[in-house]
Amino acid sequence: MKKILYVITKGNWGGAQRYVYDLATALPHDQFEVAVAYGQPGLLADRLHAAGITIHELPLQRDVSALHDLQSFSALYTLCKNMQPDTVHLNSSKAGGIGALAANLAGVKNIVFTIHGLPEDEARNPLARMFIWLMTRLTVMLCDKVITVSKDNQRRIGKSTLIYNGIAPIEFGDGSIIRNAFPAGVTITGTIGELTHNKNQIALIEEARTKPDMYVAIVGEGELRKTLQQKIAEYKLEDRVKLFGFIPAAEAIRGFDVFALPSKKEGLPYVLLEAKQAGLPIVANRVGGVGEILDTDLREFTLEQMVEKTVALY
């Protein structure tokens, strides 16, 4: 039986976390022994625990911290030594860099790194972007296999295996939790995602400010919730723009008439696959793999294909 250790920076719920959860729970349990190491506990950790997956909390943080990064390296090195996994599968840039070094020094024979969108695409100063560009390429060099989730990222990162994110058929709810929050008969533009600068929900608020007949539902939680709420209040849009917090996409998406994805940076967003499966009109920035989803048949994005192609690398 092969031992697989997944490593991810944050244990909340987003695209990379869903990817780890789907793989960890879908691998044949008679062939693989699975564990997941993560920093910053959240919904991912809760769901993995409920699914019976072994979990390990690390002091990993997204931001640079010499103390926490050193502690994370030490913890990952020790975990690899004790577990002796056949494969360490790294996800997200911070977990990738620290994990690749720790796994190499611990003697792990197969190190896989999935790039869920290139971090140098984030809005940072030129020096920081150059440093992040370099660290990403160094991480790639330290890994035995690299997975990219879009042709855009594959073209820019170089030699890698393209494996699209995949989803299973979804049983959608009626979206009443969204519909009931707005006047009957209005057209609702909705988006789902973590409330961050990269997801750019502020763009929808600014658009609604100039369009008095625009109604916006923003689903998700994150660091910018207070900022977004302040903008909504400043523009006096409380009746037309609403923050709903975290709601599973399957329960919310039928409450939208149009799905919007104003992201500044993406890998291959699951939520866009869900919106496409729901048959919604989509308005999106063509960043990362967004255009590939919009222009490709959904049969290319199945969970079965994602798992099968990934297991072949283990």
Whether 150 and 241 share a structural domain: no
Whether 194 and 158 share a structural domain: no
Whether 62 and 104 share a structural domain: yes
Region of 288 (left: φ > 0; alpha: ψ -120 to 50; beta: rest) is left
Going by C-alpha positions, the residue among 2, 1, 7, 25 that lies closest to residue 79 is: 7
* pLDDT tens by residue, 162-202: 999 999 999 999 999 999 999 999 999 999 999 999 999 99
Whether 33 and 155 share a structural domain: yes
253: domain CATH number is 3.40.50.2000
Domain boundary among 139, 162, 185: 162
Number of structural domains (the chain) is 2
Whether 8 and 151 share a structural domain: yes
Whether 203 and 106 share a structural domain: no
Rounded distance, CA 215 to CA 178, Å? Answer: 11
* pLDDT tens by residue, 196-234: 999 999 999 999 999 999 999 999 999 999 999 999 999
Whether residue 306 is contained in a domain is answered as no
* pLDDT tens by residue, 117-151: 888 887 788 888 888 888 899 999 999 999 999 99
Residue 94: its pLDDT value, please?
87
Whether 7 and 120 share a structural domain: yes
Whether 64 and 29 share a structural domain: yes
Residue 64: its pLDDT value, please?
65
Whether residue 144 is contained in a domain is answered as yes
> What tokens appear for 254 in the block?
């039928």
Least confident range of 2-16, 25-39, 63-77, 247-261: 63-77
Going by C-alpha positions, the residue among 136, 135, 132, 131 that lies closest to residue 148 is: 136
Whether 241 and 141 share a structural domain: no
List, in order, residues 6 or more apart from 202 with CB less than 8 Å away. 224, 227, 228, 231
Range(s) of the domain holding residue 119: 2-162
Radius of gyration of the chain (CA): 20
Whether residue 149 is contained in a domain is answered as yes
Whether 6 and 134 share a structural domain: yes
Residue 21: its pLDDT value, please?
97
Whether 206 and 133 share a structural domain: no
Whether 19 and 60 share a structural domain: yes
Whether residue 283 is contained in a domain is answered as yes
Rounded distance, CA 57 to CA 45, Å? Answer: 9
* pLDDT tens by residue, 76-112: 999 999 999 999 999 988 899 999 999 999 999 999 9
Whether residue 202 is contained in a domain is answered as yes
